[in-house]
Structure 1
Amino acid sequence: MHHSTNNTHLLIYPCPGYGHVIPSLELAHHLLGRGLTITVIISTDDLPLIDPLLSSYPTSLHKLLFTNPKVNPSPQPLIAKILSTQQLFDPIVKWFKSQPSPPVAIVSDFFLGWTTELASHLGVKRVMFSTSGALGSSIFHALWRDIPNINNDNANEDENFLISFPEIPNAPQFPWWHLPPASRGFKNGDQDFESFRTTILANMRSWGIVYNTFEGLEGVYIDYVKKQMGHDRVWAVGPLLPDEHSPMDGPRTGPNGAPPHDLQMWLDSKPLDSVVYICFGSRATLSEKQMCALIGALKLSKINFVFSVKASDSSSMIPNGFEEDRVAGRGFIVNGWAPQLAILKHQAVGSYLTHCGWNSILEGIAAGVMMLAWPMGADQFANATLLVDQLGAGKRVCEGGPEIVPDANELARLLDESLNGDLQERVKVKELSEGAIKAVKKGTSIRDLDMFVKLVSEV
């Protein structure tokens, strides 16, 4: 099969930031392994992430390096940052025209819907790559499609106004304050919003969509997306996670964090399923009140735990001597980057307190650990709905922004209970884990990936 794809060149364009770049590179890894030639657009900030892959595929992987474009100051920094990428339209066109065998398709992030116009300008196909699940991205799309009407219906901006999505399977609904802040600030006629809305709606004109999910997890939503698109070029190829043979398996962000050896020894000394792993992803930050409540709950609980704390969580919020006296021997604090997949897969780890970012949910499912859901923003409320209400593989412990603080006693009880062997959620997540492993070893995700490679090679 490889000989026919050797000359198939794809351009992969992730949105800047770890949560987007890492899954895109994992997709690139699978495509390179099938004999395609790949160029990845990468910003200077994210450059270290691609190095391990470049050394494994020195001839078939190329990088197209840009510094992050200048972002105009804006009340909506995320939207402004995403819109700033459009400044690369002409430089990408110029690069394309200089290539002896330019890419036949652009595989670009969900946030980069404007690349649909770029692709049609260049006469190539655009494939959307979603680093969110099929449910999360369907809700996001419906939200931006309907936002003018939603804003009219909720003219007085009632925080608890229910927004429902009746045409999406299981008819999800959310209070207004669960929606991404960017959409809540939408004003008809505002230039940035209108541009962002246009770029998101352009995703539906993509030639195809690749999802980092799998049929056993989100089959009903994948079918829904196919109906929305009016064709079957929708592929679920996940979970896209590095296995032990992957060049992407090394530390993803350099040397800070705990010495892996110390952490490994500490985990090895703990009984099976006796540790809760606590981590809120690369962007979510706990407020001081939330941190106090969490620390209070850890003191009250009986569990062992590994707590991954970012610099932005200011480790100063963790009381001095917390590790030594209050939770002696029970707690291991990692400042900075933690080898998350390795921790989750360790037999001592039985549950995972998570902000419900999509990558984290996939990692928890792949490892078969029950999840305690604390969604804070973005697609996390949608992911928690899928995980808790629809799949029954986790429990909610808290939800919302910095001002919403869990009760320390209740959180301690949920932490303790999460390691209880016969919990229904633990049984369910083990089943999903087997489904995930099967999907990427010899099942639906491999089938979809092969089909994608076949179709894109025929373009």
Structure 2
Amino acid sequence: MHAPSIQSQKNTQLQPVPTHLTQTMSGSGNGSGSAGVATHVVMFPWLAFGHISPFAQLTRRLISGDETLRVTFLTAAGNVPRVEAMLAEAAGAVAVLPLDLPSVQGLPPAAASTAELSADGAELLKVALDGTRPQVATLLAELRPDAVLFDFAVPWVCDVAAPLGIRALYFNVYSAATLALLTVPARCPGGQRPSAHELTAAPAGFPSDSPLVTLPAYQAANLTYVFQSFYGMPSAYDRFIESFKGCFGTVMKTCAEMEGPYIDYISAQIGKPVLLAGPVVPEPPEGELEERWSSWLSSFPENAVVFASFGSETFLPAAAATELLLGLEATNRPFLVVLNFPKGADAEAELRARVPPGFEDRVKGRGVLHTGWVQQQHILLHPSVGCYVNHSGFSSVAEGLAAGCRLVLLPMKTDQYINAAVFARELHVGVEVARRSEDGWFGCDAVSDAVAAAMAAGGDGEGRKWREFLLDDAVQKGFAAEFLRNLKGLVSGPNYKT
């Protein structure tokens, strides 16, 4: 029998845990994780800050909701200062421990995260992280935590944790829709890897009314990456499957209200408990917006400015960036564009390759092109910013919604395509930039049209509804309380640490 998912009902009404799961979770009541007894959780994310950040956010949420909880966070030594800063408010209950990455030919010695690497370097980083298995085994044997939440890249944690009686829980930082479409066992019947053509169709049993039942050719071709092996190592798909097989349960940072059918499908596919931590809710930013941005933004009327940003690890090809810039120019609105490039690239040369002839003169005074880090949340919250063009990362969309911005979705790779379909076509949040189905090409007119549609009357769709949902403190506290209760139930079940 497949274990049903542990989900939330609408608003703050929480669904009772199914009877057979309640019995499994309650145990004798004497194990670690019982009420009033300290619970120790180890967090072990993949070495990308798009993964580290959700683990850190969940850590902060758990610590703030339970004074008896303590967390040990594992990451590469080079990431420790940044992770400690992310967890500063929970410092008394969290320890960040460094892992020494072994030397791997072709991987820069100081590499600690994907932010510093090319796509090929990121694959080598998986090789290095696999090499930390002896260190992790030693740490878990010494720490003897109640549970370890691990990422897809390190399914071997299950084999290390099981003999120690530690509950290994796979923590999925992607949307449930992404997991359901790409990584379930039904995606590869008989172990046969899907072709690009086969990836245009959803796996067997997938929710039939989903907009993801069929995919355009360019998206399917991009998604073949998930099934490719690099350096003789398991593919991403293989790592997901091993995570499902070995884990005691799965944790997802989503909720039934947003992704119910996908959660149910995943639960049926893997046949293990699914704990929902609730969606990503951006915490209010600290400090003030830099004067140079504050002064410039304040020179425009309320909701006039279009802000375009694609995160630190999504890079637009030159032709696509040029069309984006021309499209924003054509809106006749003021705009701020942030374009970033892979580590080691000549940013000035890359920008020159993307800026159309005469562009700077034509948009002088109303258009700014920037590369490098910016205070994204502060900018989104500025009264003059009314539209946010982004890559459809779940956290980015949540930040835009929380700030009350109209959204234009321009996904560039893998899970971003899936997120965009869910947000725009199921949750009715944001306007997708129109593209050619065969190769994903979009022109400047598609960009300007999408901005116009988003900023028109009614262009926010159901954005206000979801903004209120995300910012409802009672709803979010309900998610956290339910998750903590279920987590403690799992770690205190029968045969715990026997």
Secondary structure, aligned partner of 2:413 = coil
Task: State the distance in 1 between where 2:176 and 2:360 align.
Answer: 44
**Conserved 8 A contact 2:280-2:394:** no
The TM-score, its normalising length taken from structure 2, stands at: 0.77
CA gap of 1:452–1:72, structure 2 versus 1, over 3 A, is: farther
Question: Comparing both chains, which one has the higher relative contact order based on Cα–Cα distances under 8 Å and sequence gaps of 6 or more?
Answer: 2
Asked if structure 1 preserves the Cα contact closer than 8 Å seen for 2:326 and 2:444, the reply is yes
Determine the structure 1 residue equivalent to 2:39.
8
* Residue 168 (structure 1) aligns with: 206
Residues 184 and 270 in structure 2, CA contact (< 8 A), matched pair in contact too: no
TM-score normalized with structure 1 length: 0.83
Is 1:431 the counterpart of 2:475? The answer is: no
- Relative to structure 2, which stretch is displaced further, 48-57 or 191-200? 191-200
1:25, CA displacement in angstroms? 0.8
Q: Is 2:59 the partner of 1:59? A: no
Question: Quick check: 377-386 or 81-90, which moved more?
Answer: 81-90
- Name the CA shift for 1:409/1:175 in 2 (closer, same or farther; >3 Å): closer
How many residues align? The count is: 437
What does residue 26 of structure 2 align with? none
Does structure 2 retain, via aligned residues, the 8 Å contact 1:76–1:182?
no
The equivalent residue for 1:224 is 265
Maintained 8 Å contact 1:303/1:415: no
Cα deviation, residue 387, structure 1:
1.3
Instruction: Identify which of 188, 197, 213 aligns with 1:146.
Output: 188
Please give the alpha-carbon distance, in whole angstroms, between the structure 1 residues aligned to 2:232 and 2:223: 10
User: What does the per-residue CA deviation read over 1:1-32, in whole Å, with 9 as the maximum and x for residues that have no partner?
Assistant: x9945621111011111111111111111122
Q: Within 5 Å, give how 1:208-357 maps onto structure 2.
A: 208-244=249-285, 249=286, 260-312=290-342, 314-317=350-353, 319=355, 325-357=361-393
Where structure 2 has 5 or more consecutive residues not aligned to the other structure, the ranges are: 1-32, 108-118, 494-498
Distance change (3 Å), C-alpha of 1:144 and 1:19: farther
Match of 1:204 among 244, 256, 266: 244
Match of 1:19 in 2: 50
> How far apart in 2 are the matches of 1:362 and 1:242?
11
Whole-angstrom CA distance in 2 between matches of 1:129 and 1:67: 23
TM-superposed CA distance for 1:185, in Å, is 8.3
TM-aligned CA deviation for residue 181 of structure 1: 4.8
Shift of 1:303: 1.5
Q: Is the 8 A contact 2:127 2:233 kept in 1?
A: no
Correspondent of 1:114 among 156, 177, 201 = 156
Q: Deviations over 1:277-303 (max 9, x none)?
A: 211122111112112212222222212
Label 1:220 to 1:195 Cα distance change in 2 as closer, same or farther (>3 A).
closer
In the TM superposition, what whole-angstrom CA distance separates every residue of 1:45-102 from its partner, at most 9, and x where no partner exists?
Answer: 3233223245433432111102444446699654443343221111111123334xx3
CA RMSD of aligned residues (A): 3.4
Separation in structure 2 between the aligned mates of residue 182 and residue 148 of structure 1, nearest angstrom: 20
Amino acid at match of 1:11: V
Conserved? CA contact 1:15–1:112, under 8 Å: yes
Deviation for aligned residue 1:369: 2.7
Question: How far apart, CA to CA, are the structure 2 residues paired with 1:90 and 1:64?
Answer: 15
Taking a change above 3 Å as real, the CA distance of residues 430 and 65 of structure 1, as seen in their structure-2 partners, is: same
Look up the SS of the partner of 1:59 in the other structure: helix
Assess if the C-alpha contact under 8 Å between 2:322 and 2:356 holds in 1.
Answer: no
Deviation for aligned residue 1:351 = 2.1
Aligned to 1:96: 140
Cα distance in 2 between the residues matched to 1:217 and 1:185: 24
- Structure-1 separation of matches of 2:428 and 2:80: 38
